[in-house]
Amino acid sequence: MRTTGQDQKKVYNLSQRLHVDVPLLIGILLLLALGLFIVYSASGQETAIVYRKARSIGVALFGMFIVAQIPPLVYRKWAVPVFVLGLLMLVSVLLFGHVGKGAQRWLDLGFIKFQPSEIMKLIVPIMIAWYVSQENLPVKISTVILAFILVLLPTLLIAKQPDLGTSLLIASSGIFVIFLAGASWRLIGVCVGLASAFVPILWMFLMKDYQKQRVLTFLNPEQDPLGSGYHIIQSKIAIGSGGLEGKGWLKGTQSQLEFLPERHTDFIFSVFSEEFGLIGVAVLLTLYLFVVMRGLWIAVNAQHAFTKLLAGSLTLTFFVYVFVNIGMVSGLLPVVGVPLPLVSYGGTSMVTLMLGFGILMAISTHRRFHV
Partner 1 sequence: MSPRRVVIRNQSAEANLFARRAFIAFTGVVLVVLILFGNIYSLQVESFEKYQTRSNSNRIKILPVAPNRGLIYDRNGVLLADNKPVYSLEVIAEDVDNIKASIIEVSKLLNITPERQSKFFKSMKQKRRFKPVELHSHLSDQQVALFSVNQHKYPGLFVNARLKRYYPFSDLTTHNLGYVARINPKDAKKLALAGKSENYAATYGIGKLGIERYYEDILHGSIGHQEVEINNQGRVIRTLNYTPPVPGKDLILTLDIELQMIAKRALSGKRGAIVAMDPRTGGILAMYSNPSYDGNLFVHGISNTNYNKLRNSKDSPFVNRSIQGYPPASTVKPFLALTGLEENIVTASTEVYDPGWYQLNGLPNKYRDWKPWGHGMVNLTKAIEQSCNIYFYDLAFKLGITKISNMMERFGFGDYTGIDIHEESKAIMPSVAWKRARYNQPWFTGETLSVGIGQSFWTVTPLQLAQALTTLVNRGERKIPHLLKAKSELIIEGNGNAYHQLTPITYEPRAPLKLKEDSHWEVVLNAMHNTAQKPTATAYAPFKGSQYDASGKTGSAQVARRKQGEKYDAKTTSENKRDNAMFIAFAPYDKPEIVVTVAIENVAKGGGSTNAGPVVRQIMDQYFGDRVITRQAHKAKPIVDSAIKTIPQEAD
Nearer to partner 1, 65 or 297 (CB): 297
**Would you count residue 182 as binding partner 1 (CB under 8 A)?**
yes
Q: What is the DSSP letter of 11?
A: H
228-247 binders of partner 1 (CB under 8 A): 234, 236-244
Q: Which of 75, 106, 148, 179 binds partner 1 (CB under 8 A)?
A: 179
Nearer to partner 1, 39 or 147 (CB): 147
Q: What's the start-to-end Cα distance of the chain, in Å? A: 33
**Would you count residue 131 as binding partner 1 (CB under 8 A)?**
yes
**Would you count residue 177 as binding partner 1 (CB under 8 A)?**
no
**Distance (Å, rounded) from C-alpha 299 to C-alpha 308?**
4
With CA atoms as reference, report the closest residue to 342 among 359, 325, 327.
325
- Evaluate whether 150 touches 127 at the Cβ level (below 8 Å): yes
User: Other CB atoms closer than 10 Å to residue 136's CB: what's the count?
Assistant: 9
The neighbouring-strand residues paired with 108 are 113
- Evaluate whether 93 touches 106 at the Cβ level (below 8 Å): yes
With CA atoms as reference, report the closest residue to 124 among 321, 352, 363.
352
Mapped onto helix, strand or coil, the DSSP state of residue 107 is strand
Mapped onto helix, strand or coil, the DSSP state of residue 191 is helix
Position 190: which residue type?
V
**Would you count residue 109 as binding partner 1 (CB under 8 A)?**
no
**Would you count residue 80 as binding partner 1 (CB under 8 A)?**
yes
The nearest distance, CB 327 to partner 1, in angstroms, is 7
**Would you count residue 267 as binding partner 1 (CB under 8 A)?**
no
User: Other CB atoms closer than 10 Å to residue 211's CB: what's the count?
Assistant: 18
The nearest distance, CB 221 to partner 1, in angstroms, is 13
The interface region with partner 1, picked from 5-13, 112-120, 132-140, 341-349 by CB under 8 A, is 132-140
Nearer to partner 1, 47 or 134 (CB): 134
Q: Which of 99, 141, 156, 285 binds partner 1 (CB under 8 A)?
A: 285
List residues binding partner 1 (CB under 8 A): 80, 131, 134-138, 176, 179-182, 234, 236-244, 253-254, 257-259, 273, 277-278, 281-282, 285, 288-289, 292-293, 296, 299-300, 305, 308-309, 312, 316, 319, 322-323, 326-327, 330-332
